[in-house]
Structure 1
Amino acid sequence: MTQSIKIQSQEFLLHPLGGIFWVEKSMLLISDVHLGKVVHFRKFGAAVPQKAIHKNFMLLDEIVGYFQPFQICFLGDLFHSSLNKEWQLFENWVGKTPAEIILVAGNHDIIAPEKFEHLGIKIFQELEFDGFLLTHHPKEKDGFFNFCGHVHPAIRLKGFGRQRLKLSCFFKKKKQLILPAFGKFTGTYVLEPTEEDEVYVVVENEVLQV
């Protein structure tokens, strides 16, 4: 189940897989997929199941099929490192995805821009749309609301007794919203919200404000 929020008179839908759909622009925002990370870890002996390689592509298909966006904007760290065999899977995925794809480069995006351009994917350092700033690293800029990634945000919730639960989340400040990592083979970083912050946690197939 998605969670609808309004920012600067625009509607955004938060999806439990970690993406945000900008309704007025039919744009899907996704951050920190880290494609290629599974192959990278397996190469160096990590005991990661082979089937994990396809997991991110299955989830991308699911969220794109749900929203059917006109445009997909990856907010950085689309790939974890240098080229490996997941690039071919990505080429196949791009070929069957009707949406226009753009990339706001992150610190892990070290693959040559020409490889992306060959697939029709434009790369930017940041993007500005109607008072919104799209970046990989969190950034403050006067007059703009910032959508970003990089942090892989999570919060800890306390239950009865000594129960502790760490949940991935969308972390919204007054002028910024940090997306959770979309990639399922990534870590998280726990943030401590203030009274002014809004936190939307991902629980199973729902996005809930806490």
Structure 2
Amino acid sequence: MTQSIHIKNQTFVLHPCGGMFWEEKSMLLISDVHLGKVAHFRKFGAAVPRKAIHKNYVLLDSIVSHFNPFQICFLGDLFHSSLNKEWELFQNWVAKTPAEIVLVSGNHDIISPLKFEKLGISVFEELIIEDFLLTHHPEERQGFFNFCGHIHPAIRLRGFGRQNLRLSCFFKSKNQLIFPAFGKFTGTHTLQPKKGDEVYAIVEDEVVQV
């Protein structure tokens, strides 16, 4: 189940896969997929199941088919490290995805922009769309609302009987929304909400405000 929010008179739909759809622009925003991370770890001997490589592509196909966006914007750390065997899988995914794709580069995006441009993917340091600033690292800039990633935010919920549950989340403050990591082979960083913050946790197949 998705969750709709409104920012600066625009409508955004939060999806439990970890992406967000900007209705007025028909733009799907996704951050921190870290494609190639499984292949990178396997290359150096980590015992990671090969089938984990395909999980991100299944989720990408799911969210793209749900929204059918005109444009997909990745907010950095699309590919985890240098080129590896997963690049071919990524090429195939791009070839069969009808949406225009753009990348706001992150600290892990060390592959040459020319490789992305050959696939028809434009690469930017940041994007400004009307009153919205799209970056990888969280930024504060007067007059703009910032969409970003990098942090891999999570929220810790405590219940009766000392139960602890840590959930990936969309973390919204007054002028910023930090995206959860879309990639499933990534860690998280627990954030502590302050007064006025809004937290939208991903609970199985739902986005729930907590």
> Aligned residue for 2:145?
145
> Aligned residue for 1:158?
158
* CA–CA distance in structure 1, aligned partners of residues 144 and 86 of structure 2: 35
TM-score with structure 2 setting the length: 0.99
TM-score with structure 1 setting the length: 0.99
The aligned runs of 1:116-127 (5 Å cut-off) are: 116-127=116-127
> Aligned residue for 1:115?
115
Which digits, 9 at most, give the CA deviation of each residue in 1:51-70, with x for residues without a partner? 01111011100000000000
Unaligned runs of 5+ in 1: none
> Aligned residue for 2:28?
28
Deviation of residue 39 (structure 1)?
0.4
The one-letter amino acid of 2:34's match is H
1:88 aligns with 2:88: yes
**Matched residues, number:** 210
Q: Percent identity?
A: 76
3-state DSSP of counterpart to 2:40: helix
The one-letter amino acid of 2:117's match is E
* CA–CA distance in structure 2, aligned partners of residues 136 and 17 of structure 1: 18
The aligned runs of 1:188-207 (5 Å cut-off) are: 188-207=188-207
1:101 aligns with 2:98: no
* CA–CA distance in structure 1, aligned partners of residues 45 and 114 of structure 2: 30
RMSD: 0.4
Which digits, 9 at most, give the CA deviation of each residue in 1:99-156, with x for residues without a partner? 0000000000000111000000000000001100000000001100000000000010
The aligned runs of 1:6-17 (5 Å cut-off) are: 6-17=6-17
Unaligned runs of 5+ in 2: none
* CA–CA distance in structure 2, aligned partners of residues 30 and 175 of structure 1: 18
3-state DSSP of counterpart to 1:39: helix
Deviation of residue 196 (structure 1)?
1.0
The aligned runs of 1:170-185 (5 Å cut-off) are: 170-185=170-185
3-state DSSP of counterpart to 2:161: coil
